[in-house]
Amino acid sequence: MAKKRAERGGMFASERLVDAFNRQVGNEMLASLQYVSIASYLSVQNLPELARTFYEQGDEERAHAMRFVRFIVDVGGPVRMPAVPAPKSDFRSAEECASLALEAEKEVTRQINDLVALARDESNTLALRFLDYFVTEQLEEVNKMTALLALLRRAGEEGLLYVEDYLSRRGVTPSS
């Protein structure tokens, strides 16, 4: 493995940074699984538009994990997949689902900010530029879940079919 790294020009990130990025792979995969769990609950509740929204979020979180994997490989680090705990699977309402998703996005934002601080401390410009995408992405994700939670609260449990109709026409984006 050391020979392969030498052939690629060495490692462009410290072991500490690579380890932190590997942990983030696990964080992103857990987020993906949590979104799939939420989407599954909403599917069983016959709320297909809400379910679609969360299935798409699950796909996006998996794609984020893969971005971290590719970066680790590109800088010559070893990819070490961390164990991922089971996501929450018992829900009482769509509002609870969106609230959990919002809190999870806030946590991921904190994790990304910690990675930025670490990359900055190590003066790793490659990592900082890579993380720029995630900083912007987290603002979008928090805004999206904030908008969805507000929509669900405004509609109430009895207005979920209106939410479904709204999502089928407009979706939930920070600008909506």
CATH number at 126 reads 1.20.1260.10
**Rounded to two decimals, what is the model's pTM?**
0.90
Average pLDDT score over residue span 75-93: 96
Rounded Cα–Cα distance for residues 151 and 102 (Å): 13
31, 108 in Cβ contact below 8 A?
yes
Neighbours of 171 (CB within 10 A): 14
Rounded Cα–Cα distance for residues 38 and 33 (Å): 9
Residue 175 lies inside a defined structural domain of this protein: no
Residue 8 lies inside a defined structural domain of this protein: no
Structure tokens at 69: 């994997």
75, 18 in Cβ contact below 8 A?
yes
Q: For residue range 5-22, what is the model confidence (pLDDT) as tens digits?
A: 444 455 799 999 999 999
Please give the mean pLDDT across all residues of the chain.
93
Q: Is the pLDDT of residue 174 over 90?
A: no
H helices of 45-122, where?
48-74, 94-121
13, 21 in Cβ contact below 8 A?
yes
**pLDDT value at position 10?**
59
**Which residues are CB-contacts of 12 (< 8 A; sequence separation ≥ 6)?**
74, 75, 76, 124, 126
Rounded Cα–Cα distance for residues 89 and 129 (Å): 35
Closest to 45 measured CA to CA, from 142, 163, 145, 149: 163
Residue 146 lies inside a defined structural domain of this protein: yes
Residue 139 lies inside a defined structural domain of this protein: yes
Q: For residue range 85-136, what is the model confidence (pLDDT) as tens digits?
A: 999 999 999 999 999 999 999 999 999 999 999 999 999 999 999 999 999 9
CA triple 157-162-166, angle to 5 deg: 130
> What's the domain count of the chain?
1
Q: Is the pLDDT of residue 176 over 70?
A: no
Structure tokens at 129: 């530029």
Q: Which domain holds residue 22?
A: 14-169
Residue 71 lies inside a defined structural domain of this protein: yes
Q: Is the pLDDT of residue 52 over 50?
A: yes
Residue 85 lies inside a defined structural domain of this protein: yes
168, 114 in Cβ contact below 8 A?
no
**pLDDT value at position 11?**
76
Residue 7 lies inside a defined structural domain of this protein: no
Residue 147 lies inside a defined structural domain of this protein: yes
